[in-house]
Structure 1
Amino acid sequence: MKILGYRRPDGKVGIRNHILIIPTSVCASTVASNIAAQIPEAVALPNQHGCCQIGADHEQTVRTLIGFGKNPNVAAVLVVGLGCEGVPIRETAAEIAASGKPVEVVIIQEIGGTLKTEAEGLSKVAKLVRQVAHLQPEKIDACELSLAIECGGSDFTSGLASNPASGIAADLLVAAGGNVMLSETTEFIGAEHVLARRAKSTDIAEKLFKIVHACENRAKLLNVDLREGQPTPGNIAGGLSSIEEKSLGCIYKAGHAPIQDVLNYGEIPQGKGLYIMDSPGQDIDSITGMLAGGATVVIFTTGRGTPTGSPIAPVIKITANARTYQMMEDNMDLDASSIISGEETIEQVGHRIFEEIIAVANGRRTKAESLGYREFGIYKIGPTY
């Protein structure tokens, strides 16, 4: 099976061809946004972090920004810095440039204010556009796809229908030689032992148990027991009674393939197959981590409905709740409620989801893309100082 992809200098394949503008701190975010607004091919990250972070929290922000720049859906990058932030501006640009794609840098304090920086940044982005304008997608094997799997606003239909069907699609991509990432550590709680049985080794199973225990312990430091405090009010209204019920439904998204490894947030997999990423249950932060890890397309199941998109990757929205599809048809890409009504099987809808992934990889726009929804959020694991 073939897709239309862009082969990058590092050998990775993207299915979109974005010019990405990365502000290295919140102080540079408005300048980045103003530059992007003047170039149709450009998109800016609304980065809210980058300064006064320390330790692992600082490292995670830097890793995420670099990962977004390296993502195969990105053709070229402008890094916009203030000049005194914690994220190392030129080092970040150099790490991205190591992937072989063109990278430019502007620094507000060195250029002499925001207006001059916007003018210089605009000139540099226009140059980047010209550098990559000749790139055309070519037919490439579907094994080059990297799929992120997400769920949010879950209800009773998620675990019964849309998540298992997504798991079938994930299995099909793994069987085709592709890469799949499952995230949301909070939504393994109560089901971690089920996932661990599929780990390729006992060491990988232990890594899975470790991230779940660490997640619970962080909550306990705030005097919260996640096994008692979940699910969220929206999930409860959607018919989910406990975190175990929610988790057992959520892990269906991962299909049946062996787990190759457990990744840190924003870490790039070193092989093919199914990977677990340590991330929060907050949808946007979770998707951001997987895209920093190199995912190029996202499937997002939802029972209650969500408009979430991404700055650099198509997000395919799937619901098995007929009312949600009817109420939010502007945002939903695929109606899986035929499973609940008995008109289709889980396997049939799973194949339909896989076909949608291939169609989107071949250029079909998702509804979030067509509406310009570009949500982005970096998972913070420490306080700001």
Structure 2
Amino acid sequence: MWKGNEEGVTKLSNLKEGQFLGYRRADGNVGVRNHVLILPTITCAAQAANQITELVDGTVSFIHQHGCAQVGVDYEQTFRTYAGMGMNPNVYGVVVLGLGCETHQAWTVADEIAKKTGKPVETISIQDHGGTLTTVAEGAKVAAQMVQDASTIQREPCDWSELIVGTECGGSDACSGLSANPAVGTVSDMLVDREATAILAETTELIGAEHLLAERAADDKVAKRVYEVIEAMENRSLKMGVDIRTGNPSPGNLDGGLSTLEEKSLGAANKSGSRALQELIDYAERPTKKGLVWMDTPGHDIEQLTGMVAGGAQVVLFTTGRGTPTGSPIAPVIKIATNSTMYESMGDNMDLNTGTIIEGKETVDEAGGRVLEEIRQVSSGKKTKAEILKQHDFGIWRIGPTF
């Protein structure tokens, strides 16, 4: 069992049941990490942002290709994602870095973050500062002060109800629907019972299982919305001449023992547990209700992960039967193996093994309890494998043409 530093041992062992050690923010939300985010609003500024993170310890950033030539709902969704990353409770403060002539102006993103959270936010423009070198120097100076200020914030006891936990699965196999996904479903129920929020996502990988979720909808409005988002996702594929229901899963899923999309979906839906579905939200939108929430995302691992983190998820549970190094610059991603063989072969990337369920060494509920304890420890400061390896993946679900 993880112990942490001496101070952390004392505090963690003295916590009441259902508590973890988090960072209380000015807006009342709780973070499990204390990052300073260098946020590039345009792909042209991403390399400069990365250079700042190399200079200043305690900062994180990400590389992307977005921020310009976007209009309409595509622009709005990207803006919501940028702002959501900065508003995530795991972020202490933000340095918003822009070029100066892009569609997504840095100051508009900075204003949104500052207005809604009260966090320290600074804006820097490459064009206004005379180029990359002077911008990196100024950004590093601002970020260094912000990191020092962030280091004075101490962890304090926080309740499970403060958490938003994202769930996803990637690279499934024949064990996914029998071990890791049901175990995460058990965790989802335990979180909901503790008044926390659990996010279910991957709309493409719920096709064929939508009726099961609609039956658990909190009301008719939510049930109707379930079928609407499934239909919309299918229609996007049909417009490209592809019937997603008749298509097979990815080559990795096929090699892992899955044969149809419905088979994949039925296994993926197990992550939702058994509690009522409270609401269905858009990509990168923050939940407005406690309990089980469905976020409309694609099945692409990185795009889905980014959407949930932008929606406020402080921790993410990621089940996999094939293995993946996927992580986030903002939220710790707990990687859960569905089978022992892969867990042992990809020990560099896996945090937990639920292959024990398949082997009859552990029940689903017992494995779920182990995952819940891991969430508590990670939320209190334990590093995940993806964090240790600095696996800072980021990608936005684009829903419109580039102009």
Q: TM-score, normalised by structure 1?
A: 0.99
1:330 matches 2:334: no
Q: Which residue of 2 aligns with 1:176?
A: 194
Q: Which residue of 2 aligns with 1:310?
A: 328
Superimposed CA distance per residue, residues 132-157 of structure 1 (whole angstroms, 9 cap, x where no aligned partner): 22101101112111100010000010
Q: CA deviation at 1:45?
A: 2.0
Q: Which residue of 2 aligns with 1:14?
A: 31
Contact 2:337 2:354 in 1 (8 A): yes
* C-alpha distance in 1 between matches for 2:150 and 2:390: 22
Match of 1:271 among 283, 289, 302: 289
1:237 matches 2:255: yes
Match of 1:66 among 62, 79, 83: 83
1:91 matches 2:125: no
Q: Which residue of 1 aligns with 2:62?
A: 45
Superimposed CA distance per residue, residues 221-265 of structure 1 (whole angstroms, 9 cap, x where no aligned partner): 111110112311111111111011110000000111111100000
1:228 matches 2:233: no
What code does the residue aligned with 1:369 have? Answer: E
1:358 matches 2:376: yes
* C-alpha distance in 2 between matches for 1:61 and 1:338: 40
Aligned to 2:123, what secondary structure does the other structure show? strand
Aligned to 2:154, what secondary structure does the other structure show? coil
Alignment of 1:137-216 (within 5 A): 137-216=155-234
Superimposed CA distance per residue, residues 329-370 of structure 1 (whole angstroms, 9 cap, x where no aligned partner): 111111111110111111111111111111111111111111
* C-alpha distance in 1 between matches for 2:356 and 2:67: 45
1:32 matches 2:37: no
Count of residue pairs brought into register by the alignment: 385
* C-alpha distance in 2 between matches for 1:178 and 1:78: 30
What code does the residue aligned with 1:379 have? Answer: W
Question: Bigger shift: 41-50 or 19-28?
Answer: 41-50
Q: CA deviation at 1:375?
A: 0.8
Aligned to 1:111, what secondary structure does the other structure show? coil
Aligned to 2:128, what secondary structure does the other structure show? helix
What code does the residue aligned with 2:121 have? Answer: V
Q: Which residue of 1 aligns with 2:14?
A: none
Q: Which residue of 2 aligns with 1:103?
A: 121
Contact 2:100 2:127 in 1 (8 A): yes
Superimposed CA distance per residue, residues 107-129 of structure 1 (whole angstroms, 9 cap, x where no aligned partner): 01111111111111111111212
The 4+ residue runs of structure 1 with deviation greater than 4 A are none
Contact 2:64 2:394 in 1 (8 A): yes
What code does the residue aligned with 2:379 have? Answer: A
Q: Which residue of 2 aligns with 1:379?
A: 397
Q: TM-score, normalised by structure 2?
A: 0.94
Superimposed CA distance per residue, residues 10-57 of structure 1 (whole angstroms, 9 cap, x where no aligned partner): 111000000001001101101111111101100112132000011111
Q: CA deviation at 1:271?
A: 2.1
* C-alpha distance in 2 between matches for 1:194 and 1:187: 13
* C-alpha distance in 1 between matches for 2:121 and 2:251: 44
Q: Which residue of 2 aligns with 1:343?
A: 361
| Fraction of identical pairs, as percent | 52
* C-alpha distance in 1 between matches for 2:248 and 2:316: 25
Q: Which residue of 2 aligns with 1:319?
A: 337
1:288 matches 2:303: no
* C-alpha distance in 1 between matches for 2:297 and 2:291: 19
Aligned to 1:369, what secondary structure does the other structure show? helix
* C-alpha distance in 2 between matches for 1:180 and 1:339: 23
Q: CA deviation at 1:196?
A: 0.7
Contact 1:20 1:45 in 2 (8 A): no
Q: Which residue of 1 aligns with 2:95?
A: 78
